[in-house]
């Protein structure tokens, strides 16, 4: 058994090294040739298992792309690559590095704490350097993405769960008739059945065009928002991030007062996402107040955010029961369930890990179970981008950084292979 684990460790490390572009990591060769925000945070955790200094470098480079207003972009386009659309020429942003104009879940705030805890002597300098940029990013979320205390997305890509069923109704309100001609590049790499539809893409690009027209100026973008949905992914990752940032600040004697206020507001906001009809956290359209009625893997991030809700454990048990590999991105019972299509059914190692870590923090046995399940999924089906939740068949891109990182940081640690 030890030999199998050693071989998987070796392969995971090799993937991280192959995707390393000298200080930052791409998610996978071909499909995603740039630095993505939350992928990079997972990459840092993966590196921490074998090269802690490199782990901090990943975060430092990510924050070097921070905008003056505090936002940390979802993609940094360090070197041009025609293999991905939309590239820097489409976004036309004004940050310190060529970037996209939207953000992604702030898991890097929490992963910085994990890096620090693993080696406080090495972490003291990077924490002192990153603390203020991190705090400014939190302020940006509270100023420009907050609605009744919950954190919203202004583009489906911000959630990291691009084509989740959560956004269907809100996206339907956008008329992308004037989007014009564009050429997708993702379909050169992955079968169309595993990717978002053309209807989705038209709206993704239409929202980018709107941002560009408004110069990516946050106050202008906030007027007559066409899409603004309060998202459990953002709300709970930020909530956890703020808790961990407070912890880091206290370790290093840095100012945390504003963060306590933010945390209180986020805790109130989380309550507005509880949908009693599905007995779980749900996304809520901030423009009309309607819940989406979606049981997704983000519905179970509450523990990760620091909230224990016994009723939620019952719903999770029902969602997990019919499937062998962890939390699907959409519950099997949902008529919109599509086992291969990206965030509308497949299992993602990263979400299994966040949900599992939260459960473990509260001592719930489901956490350890998810860790073992995810470990076995990767051991038998490889380091794919995501997996069919019914049989674990690999889907999307291969040799994926964050799946390797999940293995090294969590799922492969204390794995019991049969």
Residues in contact with ligand 9WN by CB under 6 A are 27, 32, 36, 38-39, 74, 157, 160, 162, 186
Q: 207 vs 307, which CB is nearer to ligand 9WN?
A: 207
Q: How many CB atoms lie within 10 A of CB 360?
A: 18
Report how far residue 41's alpha carbon sits from residue 55's, in angstroms, rounded to the nearest whole number. 9
Q: 99 vs 366, which CB is nearer to ligand 9WN?
A: 99
For 17-166, where are the E strands, in sequence order? 35-36, 75-76, 146-147, 150-153
Can you name the residues that pair with 347 across neighbouring β-strands?
328, 387
* Cβ 27 to ligand 9WN shortest distance, Å: 4
Question: Using an 8 Å Cβ cutoff, are 234 and 273 in contact?
Answer: no
Residue 245, SS3 per DSSP: helix
Residue 200, SS3 per DSSP: helix
* Cβ 255 to ligand 9WN shortest distance, Å: 31
Report how far residue 338's alpha carbon sits from residue 329's, in angstroms, rounded to the nearest whole number. 10
Q: 292 vs 297, which CB is nearer to ligand 9WN?
A: 297
Question: Using an 8 Å Cβ cutoff, are 156 and 162 in contact?
Answer: yes
**H or E element in which residue 110 lies:** helix 107-118
Can you say whether the dihedral through the CA atoms of 181, 186, 192, 193 is positive or negative?
Answer: negative
* Cβ 74 to ligand 9WN shortest distance, Å: 6
* Cβ 162 to ligand 9WN shortest distance, Å: 4
Q: 66 vs 103, which CB is nearer to ligand 9WN?
A: 103
Q: 43 vs 127, which CB is nearer to ligand 9WN?
A: 43
Catalytically active residues are 162, 385
Q: Give the full edge-to-edge strand order of the sheet including 146-147.
A: 146-147, 150-153, 229-230, 284-285
* Cβ 86 to ligand 9WN shortest distance, Å: 9
Report how far residue 282's alpha carbon sits from residue 230's, in angstroms, rounded to the nearest whole number. 9
């Amino acid at each position: 058994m030890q030999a199998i684990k050693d071989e998987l460790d070796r392969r995971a490390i090799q993937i991280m090294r192959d995707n390393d572009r000298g200080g930052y990591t791409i998610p996978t060769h071909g499909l995603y040739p740039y630095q993505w925000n939350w992928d990079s945070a997972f990459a840092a955790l993966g590196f921490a298992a074998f090269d802690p200094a490199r782990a901090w470098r990943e975060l430092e480079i990510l924050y070097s792309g921070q905008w003056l207003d505090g936002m940390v972009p979802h993609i940094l386009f360090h070197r041009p690559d025609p293999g991905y659309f939309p590239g820097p020429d489409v976004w036309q942003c004004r940050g310190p590095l060529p970037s996209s104009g939207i953000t992604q879940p702030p898991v890097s705030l929490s992963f910085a704490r994990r890096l620090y805890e693993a080696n406080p002597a090495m972490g003291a300098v990077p924490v002192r350097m990153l603390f203020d940029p991190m705090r400014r990013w939190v302020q940006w979320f509270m100023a420009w993405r907050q609605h009744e205390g919950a954190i919203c997305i202004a583009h489906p890509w911000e959630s990291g769960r691009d084509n989740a069923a959560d956004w269907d109704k809100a996206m339907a309100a956008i008329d992308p008739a004037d989007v014009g001609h564009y050429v997708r590049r993702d379909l050169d790499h992955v079968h169309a059945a595993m990717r978002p539809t053309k209807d989705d893409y038209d709206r993704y690009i239409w929202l980018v065009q709107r941002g560009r027209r408004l110069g990516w100026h946050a106050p202008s973008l906030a007027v007559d928002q066409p899409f603004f949905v309060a998202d459990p992914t953002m709300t709970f990752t930020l909530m956890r991030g703020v808790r961990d940032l407070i912890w880091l600040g206290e370790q290093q004697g840095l100012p945390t007062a504003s963060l306590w206020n933010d945390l209180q507001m986020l805790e109130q906001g989380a309550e507005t996402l509880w949908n009693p009809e599905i007995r779980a956290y749900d996304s809520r359209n901030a423009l009309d107040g309607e819940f989406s009625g979606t049981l997704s893997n983000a519905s179970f991030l509450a523990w990760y955010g620091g909230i224990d809700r016994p009723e939620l454990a019952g719903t999770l048990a029902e969602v997990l029961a019919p499937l062998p590999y962890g939390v699907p991105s959409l519950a099997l019972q949902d008529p919109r369930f599509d086992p291969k299509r990206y965030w509308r059914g497949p299992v993602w190692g990263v979400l299994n890990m966040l949900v599992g870590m939260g459960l473990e923090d509260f001592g719930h046995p489901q956490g350890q179970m998810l860790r073992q399940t995810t470990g076995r999924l990767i051991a038998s089906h490889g380091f794919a981008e995501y997996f069919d939740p019914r049989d674990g068949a690999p889907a999307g891109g291969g040799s994926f950084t964050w799946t390797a990182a999940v293995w090294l940081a969590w799922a492969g640690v204390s794995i019991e292979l049969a």
